[in-house]
Amino acid sequence: MGSKERIAREKEQVRKNILDAALEIIIEEGCLALSMRKIADRIEYAAATIYEYFANKDTILAELTGQGYTLLANAVKKAGASHTAAAEKVSAMWLAYWSFAFRHKELYKLMYGIQVSCPKPEGEIRNIDLPRQLFTAAITGLIPGSAVSDEAVINKYYALWATVHGLVSINIVNEKLGKEVNHKILEHAIAAIIHAKHK
């Protein structure tokens, strides 16, 4: 490996360490406790080093949130690609959304403000709209040609998102039902919305 590649790899590792430490602090102490100094102390770097990678705490929050949306979009896209029938595709994508939420629980909580008091980061968040775009493209295939409209697609998207996100949030905040029961509720709810008549 050449020196340029090694330096780039080392820089990427430091960047990852900063983001990992930031997420750990948010999980343990809450978003308001996050500071550049705390991140530096946790990874045993000078605070000035953190500023070489991120301008401030807000840019760290934006990067973490963007990572979450990118991972979510990848999971949803992969799930949809394994199906051709519209109803199966949309169902698989929402089940992948559910799985993502619990596989990356802390990132999901940060993305949607569940149990964290993080203000929404200023500026652009990478890929924030990508999961919605993937879902709405797939949902279009559910709606008969004569009934297709932006309003019909968006209405069905938000009905599905509110249901799945609501179930995720309930389970993150207060896990009372078993995994099997939750999955049955989820599958039935998704199927009911997918097959509801289009107005």
Name the DSSP class of 145: G
Superfamily of domain 58-194: Tetracycline Repressor, domain 2 (1.10.357.10)
Name the DSSP class of 128: T
Contact, 150 vs 90, CB < 8 A? no
* Closest CA relative to residue 22, chosen from 58, 72, 74: 58
- pTM as predicted: 0.86
In the block, residue with structure tokens 């430490």: 21
Query: Structural domain boundaries of the chain?
Result: 1-54, 58-194
CA 149 to chain centre: 27
Q: At 2, which helix (H) or strand (E)?
A: none
Cβ burial of 106 (10 Å; 0-12, 13-18, 19+) is middle
- For the chain (199 residues), the mean pLDDT of every run of 10, in chain order, is 82 94 88 90 93 92 93 97 95 96 90 77 84 96 86 94 92 70 84 80
Distance CA 104, CA 61 (A): 16
What pLDDT is stored for residue 148 in this prediction? 83
Q: Which structure tokens are listed for 107?
A: 């990132």
What pLDDT is stored for residue 198 in this prediction? 58
In the block, residue with structure tokens 């896209």: 77
* Closest CA relative to residue 86, chosen from 128, 145, 166: 145
Distance CA 14, CA 42 (A): 12
The domain 1-54 having CATH identifier 1.10.10.60: the answer here is: yes
CA 154 to chain centre: 19
What pLDDT is stored for residue 177 in this prediction? 59
- Residue 100: count of CB within 10 angstroms of its CB: 22
